[in-house]
Amino acid sequence: MNNDKKNRSPLKNPLVIFLVISVIATFILNMAMMSFQSPTSQEIAYSDFLKMLDEDKVDEVVFKTEQIVIYEKYDESVPVEINTSTALMQAMGIDTEALVEKAKENSRKIYYTGYIYNEKLLDKLDEKGVEYSTPIQHSNPLLDFFLTWILPLVVIYLLFFILTRSMSKKMGGGGIMGIGQSNAKMYSVENATGITFADVAGQEEAKESLDEIVDYLHNPAKYQAIGAKQPKGALLVGPPGTCKTLLAKAVAGEAKVPFFSLSGSEFVEMFVGVGASRVRDLFKQASAKAPCIIFIDEIDAIGKSRDNQISSNDEREQTLNQLLSEMDGFDSSKGLVILAATNRPEILDKALLRPGRFDRRIIVEKPDLKGREDILKVHIKNVRTEPDINLHEMALATSGAAGADLANMVNEAALRAVRCGRKTVSQEDLMEAVEVIIAGKEKKDRILSPKEKRIVSFHEVGHALATAVQKHTQPVHKITIVPRTMGSLGYTMQMPEEEERYLMSKDEILDQITVFLAGRAAEELVFNIKTTGASNDIERATSLARSMITQYGMSDKFGMAGLESIQNKYLDGRSVSNCSEETKTSVDNEVVKVLKECYDTALAILKDNRDALDEIAEFLIDKETITGDQFMEIFNRVREGRNKDAQDNAEESE
């Protein structure tokens, strides 16, 4: 296909033909309309022309429509030079006298002036013996017909051809008459999706809901016998990367039926009515292939609520109305099922979600610990790995990751193994891939100064000590002061021991805020300075403290009042205030109070464990990266030594 495009002659390109014809037409018009005025002519005033006539300097006059061309007499005192010798020209039979006369005629100066009607001018020309004439315009009927009729029609046709061809490409290749045809991609029984539920892991509840649709498509009589009707549509709702599209394809693969896939944005065009036409065409095709599945990805592009008149769109609303009409019109007993996916269910039109249209809402959440481990097994089965890899450890380290994130991590681990010259993926590759996705690659070219390196080291150990001392925190897995490409100069990685937590108590939130602020506390305690390295820690601590007060009902002052709500929970999770400006001010004061108390707690923890802080930080400066086990070994050793010294001092005092 690409070779044909490369070998295609440029002369077959309509744009090239149009440009060539335009250039030729312009040249012909210029030749037809151009003035034959000599390039050496000079404009003079009419009075100067009369003066030349009086002085007998005019040899010939040509009257044109808007000007008079004056040929000056040749000055006999100026000799005419001919480069070729006269004897040679005579030997060649050339009339030298005629050649001289021709040279004299060509050397005349030519002037022109504007035409002014003067009855006495012709008499004066006759009196001076000046020749005068008027050129006859010879018209070509064939050329006039071509320029007047043929050329404009050719130009209009070429413009129409190029415009319609461009529109046909944008409208799906069906030409100007196929502007409303569907661009749906259909997988027939022979060319099925090739995806089954075995290829989708970590979404057992969603698969269970969709498995009923598959069973109905295989055995509709079983449901019809009891009087049950298959839901017409199912809406897959969840964050990005949770395999909603993959689930839809798996339904078609399990049911072995045709699969129509179309994005919601592909329905909407600049022409009003095109989207509605495409909806009709899509359902017409699907009805002919029933039983089958129609999948509309990102349905919020056409299914947005019609209540907001400010941002209304006639084309989108007509498309939505047509979709609602088609969903009411088809018979679900034929096995026609509509699946749709969205990240923003809260903005969908209520008419789209009522029973009889999208009857079922299937939540596709981010996977839990077991789900992440199952997803990793699916993605790693085609990767050559070492026999001792531990996917459970990787699943523990990837809390909050979606299926697409986990697939990316497995691929990143395989790429790292290739870069390192190994033929199998190791556990080190997998864990490093987790850190690459979370924090970015190591920046080996960014060399910190000794002072900055010490500050970063004490900062990260401050986080780790606050984690180790407090009860309601997750254990430290790794501490590093190697800069990363996403901007961090170091980080402390925490990881749950065996299971994932879904609830957080107030004590756990306060302990986590203390951990966030312990890095800044270490900087001030050891170096008596404040750096920009704590900016992300402060941002996360402030957000957590505000959520605790406004959403979780954990504030002594406001009690269980919900002062903020979450919008777009499956996307950015932006919070929206539900209180007055005065209450917002009080909330800000309460947040500051919580942060100050947690900061004081962090400072007290570090003061009590200053010996451990110094020793672990110096060890980290030397090694740059230490594991959680190494950290806890040093911390326990220092704490035991301190307790022993305290006990000895107590015995001596007694």
Would you please indicate which residues are annotated as catalytic (active-site) residues? 460
Cβ–Cβ < 8 Å for 348, 304: yes
Residue 183 makes CB contacts below 8 A (sequence gap 6+) with 172, 262, 266, 278
| CB atoms inside a 10 Å sphere around CB 246 | 17
> In a 10 Å sphere around its CB, with 0-12 CB exposed, 13-18 middle and 19+ buried, how is residue 317 labelled?
middle
Cβ–Cβ < 8 Å for 209, 216: no
* Helix or strand run (H / E) with residue 100: helix 96-106
**Cα–Cα distance measured from residue 164 to residue 176, given in angstroms and rounded to the nearest whole number:** 6
Distances in whole angstroms, Cα of residue 285 to Cα of each of 253, 279, 328, 336, 356: 19, 10, 17, 11, 21
* Rg, the chain, Cα only: 44
Which token pair is 549?
Answer: 């007060």
Cβ–Cβ < 8 Å for 485, 440: yes
**Cα–Cα distance measured from residue 345 to residue 347, given in angstroms and rounded to the nearest whole number:** 6
Which token pair is 118?
Answer: 């003067």
Among 63, 68, 102, smallest CA distance to 82 is for 102
Long-range contacts of 134-141 (CB under 8 A, 24+ apart): 134/62, 134/63, 134/64, 135/62, 135/64
Distances in whole angstroms, Cα of residue 553 to Cα of each of 171, 196, 200, 409, 587: 53, 44, 38, 37, 12
Edge-to-edge strand ranges of the sheet holding 67-72: 42-43, 110-114, 67-72, 58-63, 131-133
